Every structure is written in structure tokens, then in C-alpha cells.
Chains A and B, each alone.
Chain A
Amino acid sequence: MTTKTDVNGAATSSDWQDRYYHVDQILDRPGPRTDPSFLAGDEVKDFLRNKCKILVIGAGGLGCEILANLALTGFKDIHLIDMDTIDISNLNRQFLFRPADVGRPKAIVAAEHVMKRVPGVKVTPYYGKIQDKGDDYYLQFNLVICGLDSVEARRWINATLVNLVDPANPESFKGQARVILPTVSSCYECSLDMLNKPTTFPICTIANTPHLPEHRIECASVLEWPRTRGDEKLDTDDPEHIGWLYSIAVARAKEFKIEGVTWSLTQGVVKNVIPAIASTNAIIAASCCNEAFKIATSSAAYLNNYFMLIGTEGVYSYTFEHEKRDHCPVCEGEALEMSIMISRDWTVEQLIELLTEKQNIQIKKASLATPEKPIYFQQPPQLEEATRPNLEKRVSELVPDGGEVVVTASTLPFSLSLIITYE
């Protein structure tokens, strides 16, 4: 048995003989599709096991899988960020967590579990938001694997990272994995228009013409909750809160003879629950880790650049090269300029609405300003209040023909300069 010192300086007897028998078969010699720059043997093993620093973002369904795979593959300096705590509904797929862990931070529990199971691997958890960390933090990593489920967080990380990102998005029997080499290949922002539009119910339908069980549930959460419960914040993880919404929705549905309001549907609608299973996460996470391994070691060609899997009918997958989008604001720089023609009658509120609907921008809660003065600001509250009267004003009263409006939003990883002309 050989003894080695791992990257963190702690002497371990963890690298026993043949520990990496399986991985070493790949690292000891090139294959037919291996890049000529591959340095077979000790050098690449040393980089993988002693030098490479990798960041995993998210310790949820994907994160748990990613962490275990990386550890077994031989990455020994792994960092992990996650802001969530463990919920019971995570346990059907997030296999590093047990019932006794419910309520504890995912990042901490996942790190402990993997370090216990795979000796010699150091996992450094951070329980908090990705936005808490600055460029200097992200720049220390050779590689980042992203296992996030929110579009906003992924856009943010995509825009922040100057190194490789690998996001994935499993849902039921479907998922995707991709390799992003910033400025070289297409990025997350480039493919924003491929996202499915989220299901939303227009407020007027909910209020005036509800006819689906989902409408009654939305009505209970959006209209009746604030009306009855006042300032109390709706907590979608609190069974009492869900129960209240459910009973209100059932009662109203009965009045209108709408069928199908159930507890599960109520929870699904208000939490925007996406069905998820262990196996799909495993597939997507494995392909991400596999790409990370190939890129870190150059032991084989890597995915170029998009893998999409649909497992509902047989096994269907599609691997293709997603092209960079022309004038992608993230790939090409910081500000995006766009021209838009609107009617002179349009109000500021209508303009904000339009920005939400644009598939290639998707700006929720936009704040607007001319280069000279604010038009409408969502934050802070004082400024919001002061600018609120502008919502009803016509844009044409505030911005000259051909004038510029600067759009910012927390969901927008860059600023948008909108050139307004009138019909």
C-alpha cells in the first residue's frame, strides 16, 4: 500500500494501491479520440488529484450526484455552495441526506457525507448565496459545475464566470447537459430563447373568469391570502399555510362546480413544483462530471456542446452544437442595445409588461431610467414610491423620440439600453 499526502496537507493512508485502477486505465494511455495535448500518466493524475480546484454550485438533486461522482473520479479539492436547507421532499432523490438531516443546510450535510464516504477528499461547503461571493472567489477555480435549478441564478452565474460552466436542468424524464467555454462556445444567455415559457395565469382570468382548479388555487394565494391574512408572509413550506389555501380553493371551486382541487395540486401551483426523480438527475449529473473529467484531464474529446435527453418514449437524445447568438450581451460585453418602436399612447407600465414577455430578454421587475433621471425604480421602497406615479404616464411624455432608456433588473445580468421610437 502506498501512502500519499493529499492537497490539504493532511497525511492519509487513503490512496491505497489500485484505488484508481479504473480511472487510471483511461489516464495511462490515450484513446483514438484523445487530444494530442494529453499528458498520459503521472502528470495528469497529479493535476487531477493534487492541483485541480473545482466548484460545485448547488447541493440539490444534481449537486448530490455531482459531488459523489467527482469524489470517486479523483478530484480532491471540491468547493460547494448552496443556500438551501433540507426538506423531506428532497429525500426521494438527494441521496446524501437522511430523514434526521431535515432542516439542516444542504451544503454542510453533503460535504460531511462525501468526506466520510470517500476518504482523502476535501469538500469545503459554503452555506449561502452565489451572489455573496465575488470575482476573486470564482476565479480561484479551474472548473465550475453548475447544478442550479433557477433560471435567474444560472443567468447570474453564467455572466459572472470567466471559466467553464456546465449547467443542467432535469425535469421528469428529461434533461440537458452542456459545456460552455466562455466567449468560445454558446453560453446560457445565448440559448435563453430555448427555455419553455413558464406557466402563468393572467390575473384577470384568476379574478374574473376562473375555470380551472389551478385558477382557484392562484386566486386563493394571490388575492385571498393578502385580503384575509394581511401582511403575513405566505410560506409555501408551511403545511398550515398550504392547508389554508387548499381549503379556500376547495370551497370556491365547489361554489363554481370546478373539479380537481387537491392538496397536491395546491402545493404544485403555489410552489411551482417541478417533478423530479433520482434517475434523471443521475444521468445529467454524470454527463456533467464526465465532461469535467475529460476537460480537466484532456483524456478524451468532450461534448460539443449540448446534450439533450428525452426519456418518456424509449430513450431519445440529441447531441448538437448550439451556435453562439449574435450580439449576446454576455458573450460580447456588458451592455445590450435594443431598438423598440411603440405607440405614443403606451404607458410606462405597458412598456415594463412588454419587457417581461420578450422571450430573448425575460426581464422581471424592470427598473427604468433615462440617462438624466429615474422613470420607475422597483427598489428601494422610497424610490419606488416616489416614481410610482410615472407608471401611468405615457412613455412619450418622459422620453423623446429616439431617446434612450436604461433598463436594469435583478434578473438581468447586464444592463440594457433601449432606444425608443414612436409609431
Chain B
Amino acid sequence: MSSQDSQDIETATTAIIESAPDTKTRRYDRQLRLWATTGQSALESSRILLISGSATSTSILKNLVLPGIGHFTILDHAKVSHSDAGNNFFLEGYNSIGKSRAEEAVQLLSELNDGVEGRADTRTLESILESHPEWITSFTIVIAHNLDHALLNKLSVLLWKDSKYPPLVVVRSAGFLADFYIQFHEHTIIESHSETSPSLRIDKPFPALREHALSLEFDKMDSTEHGHIPYVVILVRALEDWKKSHGGSPPTSYEERQQFKKGIREMKVKDDEENYDEAEAQAYRCWTETKIPSEITTLFSDPALSTEAMDSSRSPFFHLLAALKEYTEHSDTHTLPLTSTLPDMKSDTHNYIHLQRLYKTRAEEEKQIFKSHLRVPVDDAMVDSFVKNAHALVVLRGKPWGTFDEDKAALVESLSTMPKETCIHLALSALSLLQASDTSVSPSAESIRAKIKTLVGQSTELPDEADDAIEEIARAPFSELPNTAAFLGGMVAQEVIKMVTKQYVPVKGYCVIDLIETWTGTIGA
């Protein structure tokens, strides 16, 4: 086993020395450190549709073109107005007035990145919904900013029809206030980039680790070696020794735990042995049982895993999840497969590398067992990534756009738990409804309030926060402030990147933004 293992490491490290990175890698260096080449290629194969060429839309696109999406289309039949020319950085100021807003914006956005294809489409959404809905559903993701209420409804209904249709991002803003919502059926994430690290399984050491810890003769070591035994090994050993004299149980009471820690301190032969300090600080790992995280246990009862749902058309994610469930049912330790990532710790080269190999070998063995539970072929890289992230998998399920606004009970509940956020959301909904019925007049605070009442029910008392939201919307109902547009541009692009790369966790529900007091909040999840 060990010779095989060392050969693997040999091959890995003698892999051809990389030459200096190419221009593309250098250009994308700062983001590749976040989502790696897998995320980058997902971005590069994405096709994004933006409905409208508003300042907010072009701000969103800017932050997607720069990191390198594959393609974008701006669908907009409008001509550049005087006010567009004043608030949109991706128009040529006064010179763009009267020209096609989509064409002008696409040209300037395309300058940002040669690798991205941009197209302007000057048809109306209405006509496309009517005659070519399949054109809309062919995109990876669709984003709509301040879209007319009736058209938005039609669009969201269309995109909800089939779970394979693209997600829809609905963005609304007026003055300093905004919200956005991502409509999607299901979103699965392997690389959630969780900050929780997987268990080192010190409380349930695998045989090779246990043997290694028990084989050490601390009293025969010279002081250099003694000071470089990794804390993981110290803890496994101390715990085994403890269990021997305590009927096989780990330290349970407060006193026992203090005593255990004291025992570790007493292992020191010199005062400055930091590895024992680390062991003492990490001692809680000995009595915190390694279990399957509750979030993952919950996923095991996901309806997608039922026999009826598990035909071969299911995504690889659910086949992997089914295999994981089976794996844990057969696992003696009732744990997830081991991962080989070892954190940094006080050690010398030899001891650390030895420990790393023990973990690597065992992780490889457990991965093979995991694979034996897999019923369909799945790409190796994906299996590796799945096992490595098994402790932090995420499945999100969404609702269609607008259901929140039709659910009076949910709105009332939200008004009492998150009044500020809910009031802004409702005021934006009211604005959109009012504009749909009459675009000629600027809505008054009274009319906005009345519209909100129809949404939440006449008998529902609005909280004090409602005035702030309503009057602020009435102050500037048609204002698209450059800073609000830029802020939304960043927020929405970030969520789109998460959706497209299937890395990190996108927001669920309506993300509400107040740029007066400068806060964000999420409701209606």
C-alpha cells in the first residue's frame, strides 16, 4: 500500500513543471483563486439575457462581462433618451441620444472583454413571448430590470413551466430603494465554499491513524522530535490512553475534560512545545462526536431520492447523494467519507507528511467504497469534489416569482418579523402595479399605500416603517440613481455568478436593499 501511495505522490509532484501562465490565466488570476477553472468554464459557457438596457442592466452586465461569461444579449427596443444618456456609463453621453439603447450599450460593454460575445436585439419582449418563447428559454439565465408588471408575469410563468428552463432574476429599483429575486426550481451545490471544515475524526480514528498514535514512544524521543509530533496524533494517543483507564469512554464531565487537558499539558518535556498547546486548544475534538451533519441528514430524506424520482435523467448530484446515503448506512463509524485535507499544525516535515499520507490513503479507500454505491457513471473529478465537500452540500428549492405577494398570511407574518424589509418590498410591488394600470401620472403616497393594502388585506395595520418606504418611493418613483444601479449591478452579478458556477450559496427569497441607512435584508424565502 505505502509503495503505491508514494508512487502516486511521486507522479503528482513530477508532473511537468508548469510554464508561466498564459495571458488568459493572468487576466483572470484574481477570480480563478475563488472559483477555479471549473467555475470559469461554467461562466464561459453561459449565455445571459438582459431585458432592458437600463443603467442597472448595464451595471449588472459589466460585472459579468469582466469575469468572462460566454455570451450576452440585451433585449431592448427603446431609443436612448436624454435621461438615459445622463445616467448610463455604457452609452456615449449626448452622442448616443436617439440611437438604439441595446446597440449602443452592447458596443461599449463588448470593449470590456474580447472573449465575450455580445448581441443587441431590438424586438419587443411582447412579440417574442408571443411567437418565439423558445428563444428566451435557450439562455442560461434571464435577468429583467424594472419590467412592466404584465410582461413580467408572462415571462415568469413561461420560465417556470419546465424545471429545465433558465432561472429568472427579477430586479426592481426606485431611488435609494431596491429588491431582487431569483426564480428557480432547484439548485444543487457541491462547492458551497463553506467555512466549516470536515472532521479530522480524532474521536473515531481509522485503524492506521490509531496504530500510528499508539506506536509512538514519547519517552524515547529526543526533544526536537517530541516538540514536533502533530497535535492530531497527540490527541488520538491521549484519548486512547484515557479510554483505557475510563472503561472506553471519552472525558464527559467538566472535571474530566479539565483533567484530560491537564494530562496533555503534563506531556510536555519543555515549556515551549507549541504542539502540546495546540493539542490542548483542540482537545474538544476528543469529546465532540463526529457525526453526519444534520443538514446532510436532512438531504437524505429529499424527495428527489425516492425510487420513483431516481431515474437516469436525474442529475449526477442526486445519484451522488443517493450513494452517499447508502455509504453512511453501511459505515461502522456513521460518518461521511474521510477527506484528506489536513490543516496546518505545528510539526516537522517528516511527521506532517507521514500523517498527511495516512489521511490520504484512508480517504482514497473510503472514496472507493463510496464509488461502489454509485449506480451510474459519474465523472471522476466530480466524485472527488463531491466527497471532499460532502459535509457542506446544499440543495435549494425555489418558488415562482410573485407567490409571496399573493400569500396574505406570509406577508402579514413578514410585516411583523421584518417590517422595514417587507415595507420596501411591498412599496416596490405597489409601484409596479400602479404603473401597469396608468403610466401617465406619478403615483402618490396615498395611491401606493392603497395598493399595499390590497396586497396585505384591508384589515392589516401597516407598521410605522411603511411611511418611510412609501414616501421615499413617492419622492422618486422613476429615478434610477447611478449609485443604486451600481450597487445592484454588483449584487445581482454576484448572485448570477453563484447560480452559473454552482459555487457558493445564492440568496433565496427577496433581497431588499435600502441605500439610505445602507442595509440589505432577505424576506419571503
Chain A contact residues, CB within 8 Å of chain B: 13-14, 16-23, 25-26, 29-33, 65, 68-69, 72-73, 88-89, 91-93, 95, 98-99, 117-119, 172-173, 177, 208-212, 239, 242-243, 246-247, 250, 253-254, 256-259, 261-264, 267-268, 273-287, 289-291, 293-294, 300-304, 307, 309, 311-315, 317, 319
Contact = CB atoms under 8 A, between A and B. Distances in A.
Contacts of B59: 282
B14 A254 contact: yes
Given A19-B83, A117-B93, A315-B507, A303 B518 contact: yes
A286 B490 CA distance: 9
B344 interface: yes
Which residue among B25, B486, B522 has the maximum number of chain A CB atoms within 10 Å of its CB? Answer: B486
Given A259-B9, A263-B20, A118 B93 contact: yes
A91 to B, nearest CB: 5
B192 A257 contact: no
A196 to B, nearest CB: 13
B384 interface: no
- Interface footprint category on B: 35 or more
Interface stretch (B61-69, B155-163, B309-317, B328-336): B61-69
Interface string B73-94: 0000000011101111100111
Contact of B353 (A20, A256, A282, A290): A256
Interface stretch (B133-141, B202-210, B284-292, B467-475): B467-475
Contacts of B9: 257, 259
Given A211-B349, A211-B352, A282-B489, A243 B228 contact: no
A290 B192 contact: no
Nearest to B176: A300
Contacts of A261: 13
A191 to B, nearest CB: 17
Contacts of A311: 491, 494, 504
B34 interface: yes
Given A89-B27, A257-B13, A315-B520, A285 B472 contact: no
Contact of B20 (A19, A173, A239): A239
B72 to A, nearest CB: 14
B487 interface: yes
A268 B29 CA distance: 9
Contacts of B511: 315
A257 B6 contact: yes
Contacts of B67: 92-93, 277-278
25 contacts: A16-B86, A21-B86, A31-B476, A31-B516, A32-B472, A69-B482, A72-B86, A72-B89, A92-B31, A99-B114, A247-B17, A253-B13, A256-B349, A275-B31, A278-B67, A282-B487, A284-B490, A291-B518, A293-B483, A302-B516, A303-B517, A304-B517, A313-B504, A317-B520, A319-B517
Nearest to B508: A314
A239 to B, nearest CB: 4
A69 B483 contact: yes
B246 interface: no
Nearest to A243: B20
Contacts of A267: 29
Contact of A22 (B86, B195, B491): B86
Contact of B486 (A17, A210, A285): A285
A283 B490 contact: yes
A93 B481 CA distance: 22
Given A280-B494, A282-B63, 6 more contacts: A92-B28, A209-B352, A264-B29, A274-B30, A314-B507, A317-B519
Contacts of B482: 22-23, 69, 72-73, 289
Nearest to B192: A313
Contacts of A118: 89, 93
Contact of B349 (A89, A210, A309): A210
Nearest to B31: A277
A319 B519 contact: yes
A185 to B, nearest CB: 14
A14 B495 CA distance: 36
A246 to B, nearest CB: 8
Given A26-B481, A32-B472, A263-B20, A273 B518 contact: no
Interface of B: 6, 9, 12-14, 17-21, 23, 25-34, 55, 59, 62-63, 66-68, 81-83, 85-89, 92-94, 97, 111-112, 114, 175-176, 192-195, 228, 344, 347-349, 352-353, 467-468, 471-472, 475-484, 486-487, 489-491, 493-495, 497, 504-508, 511, 515-522
Contacts of B83: 18-19, 21-22
Contacts of A22: 55, 83, 86-87, 478-482
Nearest to B525: A314
B388 to A, nearest CB: 14
A29 B475 contact: yes
Which residue among B20, B21, B494 has the maximum number of chain A CB atoms within 10 Å of its CB? Answer: B494
Nearest to A254: B13
A314 B522 contact: yes
Nearest to B478: A25
B322 to A, nearest CB: 25
A294 B472 CA distance: 14
Nearest to A258: B353
Nearest to B108: A117
A258 B228 CA distance: 17
A301 B517 contact: yes
A212 B23 CA distance: 28
Given A239-B20, A278-B66, A312-B505, A19 B352 contact: no
Contacts of A93: 30, 66-67
Nearest to B474: A31
A275 B193 CA distance: 14
Contacts of A95: 62, 66, 112
A304 B519 CA distance: 11
B349 A23 contact: no
B411 to A, nearest CB: 21
Contact of B89 (A117, A250, A253): A117
A91 B27 CA distance: 6
B519 A307 contact: yes
Contacts of A98: 111
Given A278-B67, A286-B487, A72 B516 contact: no
Given A279-B63, A300-B516, A301-B516, A18 B81 contact: yes
Q: Which 3 A-B pairs have the closest CB atoms?
A: A282-B490, A283-B490, A21-B83
A88 B21 CA distance: 12
